[in-house]
Amino acid sequence: MTYPGNLLYADRAEAGRVLASRLSGFLGNPDAIVLALPRGGVPVGFEISRQLRLPLDLLIVRKLGVPGQEELAMGAIASGNVLVLNRDVIRKLRIADETIQQVIARERIQVARQEQQFRAGPIAEVRNRTLILVDDGLATGSTMRAAAQTMRTHCPRSLIVAVPVGPVETCAQLRQEADQVLCVATPSPFGSVGAFYHIFNQTTDEEVRALLERSRDSSSEIRQSA
């Protein structure tokens, strides 16, 4: 389906279905798992998980937004105290170290909150498995870099970054962190991720919990029918 102007997707669910079609080689693969970044990556990851009959889990990563320009990332923080800073943004905007530390401290609290709110237990076993890291799009890539670096410490067999849209340079940079980067569209000029969706409402905590619960129920049904 095509959309007017810059629009590529109706919503995150459609973006997930498009990604699933590009990842069809993993259909039913017992060694593959989808790891979605909250919150916007969860509806995308849910569709990939549903279409390919793969388990879905959550990887908690928080963007470090520039004060007053929160949509612009100066870095990201992930579970396990993984920290990624975008030195180019920090240098260009002359962001003081004290300000950076304040944002880090605030986001660490949010990582802990989301771990408690969304996770029923520890992250799924990922050692020697193919990990498909999913978000609804890339901008600076700081959040996804933190996610990839976090999961590298768990010794996966393969690490795949899968996103519906992102700048060509960001997707290229991520190839240093992942074994494969699947970025369906790399428009130029880029702007923001939301500019390429018809519907890009904020994903709520309730939606995240509901999708994770549906995924767990589906996974249980698949195991029982196997």
**What is the token pair recorded at 41?**
């990556």
Q: Convert the pLDDT of each residue in 180-219 to its tens digit.
A: 999 999 999 998 999 999 999 999 999 999 999 999 877 6
Q: Convert the pLDDT of each residue in 88-112 to its tens digit.
A: 999 999 999 999 999 999 999 998 8
Asked whether the beta carbons of 144 and 167 are under 8 A apart, the reply is: no
Sheet harboring 130-134: ordered strands across? Answer: 56-58, 32-36, 130-134, 158-165, 180-185
Query: Measured between alpha carbons, how far is 26 from 45 in angstroms, rounded to an integer?
Result: 14
Q: Convert the pLDDT of each residue in 29-49 to its tens digit.
A: 999 999 999 899 999 999 999
- For 75, left (φ over 0), alpha (ψ -120 to 50), or beta? left
The DSSP letter of residue 24 is G
**Domain 12-60+125-225 fold:** Rossmann fold (3.40.50)
84 phi, psi to nearest 5 deg: -125, 125
The DSSP letter of residue 216 is H
Q: Give the CA-trace dihedral at 185, 26, 24, 44, to 10 degrees.
A: -50
Query: Measured between alpha carbons, how far is 106 from 125 in angstroms, rounded to an integer?
Result: 29
Query: Which residues are CB-contacts of 76 (< 8 A; sequence separation ≥ 6)?
Result: 61, 62, 63, 64, 83, 84, 142, 143, 145, 146, 147
| pLDDT band per the 50, 70, 90 thresholds, residue 50 | very high
Q: Convert the pLDDT of each residue in 139-191 to its tens digit.
A: 989 889 889 988 888 899 999 999 999 999 999 999 999 999 999 999 999 98
Query: Measured between alpha carbons, how far is 129 from 136 in angstroms, rounded to an integer?
Result: 23
Q: Give the global pTM.
A: 0.85
